[in-house]
Amino acid sequence: MKKVILNLEKISENFKELVQEAFNKGILNFMVSKLTYPEFENIERVKLYTKDPDLQCDYLVYDNEIKLNKYLAENKELKMGFGFFKELYSKKDEREIVELSNIKKLDFIIVSAKNWKIIPFENLIADMHTNDTELIASVENINDAEILLKTLEIGVDGILITPKNVNEIILLKNLMQKTLHIELKKATVVKIQSLPESDRVCVDTTSLLQPGEGMLVGSTAKGFLLIHSETFETQFVASRPFRVNAGDVSAYILIPNDDPEKIYRTNYLSEIKGGDKVLIVNNKGEGRVVSVGRIKVETRPMLRFELETFIENQKFEISGIFQNAETVRLVGADGNAKSVVDIKIGDEVLVHIGPGATHFGTAIKETIIEK
C-alpha cells in the first residue's frame, strides 16, 4: 500500500474535521509541529513525523545533511525512524537524493520539485526503486498526487500533502487502492434477439488494454456482462487495444466511485465522454481505473442477449445489447473471449451481479422492476 502523510503542521479552521475524516478513512500518518503535536500525542495508532527534534514522534525529518550525519554518528541505537526533506531544483539535487537513499539508516526521503515535476521523479524512481529508502513526493494537489503515484507504472512510495478539505482526503483514499476486485460468476445464455439497428458506443481509452480485459456493461443494474476489448488482430481488421465496443446507448457501464467504501457506481453509456474514468476488469475480476480518450456513437445492427444465473437458489436475469460483428466479444466461462456471432443458447459467459436499483448511478434500496 502506498503511504499518505498529511501535513498538519498548522491548525486550520477545519483542522479537527480533517483529522476525523483521516481517521475514518484509515489515513494515520501525520506531519506535525509543536503547535499540532498535542492533538496527537495520546493517540496510539497514529504515526507522527516532525522536523522538530524536541518532539517524541515516530520519525524525525532532517533537511540538513551535515546535521543528519552528525546525529546518526552520535546515536548508535536509534529510538525513532529518520527521513530527509530535499527541495529539487537541479540535476545536482537529483544526484544528491540518490546518494542519500543509500544511507541504510534513512527510512525515506521527501522530495519537493516545484518546477520540473515529472522527469526528475521518473529518474528518481528508476534509481531508487530497488533500495530500501522510500521515495515520498511532496505534492500540492490531488492531480499531482495521482500522476506521481503512477509514474513509470511503479510510482513513488508515497506522498506528503496538505489537505484543503475533507473531499481531498476521500480522493486520496481512492488513490491508495492498489487493486480492485469485482466478483464474476457464470451465466447461461437463454435467448438471443436480433435488433436491425441501434446506436452503439465504442469507448476508446487512453490506456493500452490487455487480453482478458474489458468493461462490465448491462441493460439493467441487476447484472453486467464482461465485454472484451479489441486486442485481437484479424485478417480483416487491425486490433484496437485501447477500445471496447461496449454496447448500446441505453446500457449501464461501471465507473469508479468517489466513495472508497464503494468500488463503483454506474453511468449510461450515452453519458460517458472524453476525460471521464471507467473501470477495466479482467477475466479474474481484477479491476483498474482508466481514462476515456473519446467516445464513438454509430448506428449498427445489434444482438440482445438474455441470460440466467443463480445465487442461493434465486434466479437472476441479466441482459445486454452488443453490436452484431465478429470483432465484438464477450468473455466465456473459461476466461477466453468469444465473438458474439458465435455465441449460442446454452453457452456460459462471465457476468457480475449488480446492486439492483440505482439513483443517478448510485445503488439504493428501492423496489424497482427492469425488464
Task: Judge whether 50 and 59 are in contact, CB under 8 Å.
Answer: yes
DSSP letters along 40-69, please? TTT-TT-EEEES-TTS--SEEEES-HHHHH
For residue 127, give the nearest of 161, 91, 160, 159 by alpha carbon. Answer: 91
259 pLDDT above the threshold of 70? no
pLDDT over 80 at 365, yes or no: no
pLDDT band at 367 (very low <50, low <70, confident <90, very high): very low
**C-beta separation of 357 from 368 below 8 A:** yes
The pLDDT tens digits for 262-271 are: 778 999 999 9
- The set of residues, in sequence order, having a beta carbon less than 8 Å from that of 224 and lying 6+ positions away, is 216, 217, 218, 252, 254, 318, 320, 351, 352, 354
User: Mind listing the pLDDT tens digit for each residue in 2-24?
Assistant: 899 999 999 999 999 999 999 98
H or E stretch covering 350? strand 348-353
Please tell me the distance from the alpha carbon of residue 334 to that of residue 283, in angstroms, as a whole number.
9
CA atoms within 13 A on the CB side of 111: 35
- Look at residue 216 and tell me whether its pLDDT is greater than 80: yes
Using 50, 70 and 90 to split pLDDT, how confident is the model at 313?
A: confident
Q: Write the CATH number of the domain with boundaries 3-176.
A: 3.20.20.390
Q: How far apart are CA 118 and CA 181, in angstroms?
A: 30
* For residues 152-176, average pLDDT: 86
**pLDDT of 164 over the 80 cut:** yes
- Residue 370 confidence (pLDDT) above 80: no
First-to-last alpha carbon distance for the chain, in angstroms, is 42
Distance of CA 35 to the CA centre of its chain: 35
pLDDT reported for residue 179: 56
Whole-number pLDDT of residue 170: 82
pLDDT bucket at 1, cuts 50 / 70 / 90 = low
Least confident of 188-197, 246-255, 291-300, 361-370: 361-370
DSSP-derived secondary structure for 274-308: TT-EEEEEETTSEEEEEEEEEEEEEEEEEEEEEEE
> Across the chain, how many H-helices and E-strands are there?
6, 23
Query: Would you say 218 and 251 are in contact if contact means Cβ atoms under 8 Å apart?
Result: yes
Mean pLDDT of the 145-167 span: 89
**pLDDT tens digits, 58-75:** 999 999 888 888 877 777
Q: Looking at residues 212-226, what average pLDDT do you find?
A: 95
pLDDT for 369 beyond 60: no
pLDDT the model gives residue 366: 47
Average pLDDT, the chain: 89
CA 125 to chain centre: 20
Cross-strand partners of 351: 185, 225
Q: Give 302's pLDDT tier (boundaries 50, 70, 90).
A: very high
Cell numbers placing 5: 502523510
- Residue 368's pLDDT is 52
Model pLDDT, residue 284: 92
Phi-psi region of 247 (alpha: psi -120 to 50; beta: other; left: phi over 0): left
Cell of 43: 493517540
Quick one: DSSP state of residue 30? E
- pTM score above 0.85: no
The domains of the chain are located at: 3-176, 181-363
d(CA 176, CA 331): 29
283 Cβ partners below 8 Å, 6+ apart? 184, 212, 213, 226, 331, 335, 336, 350
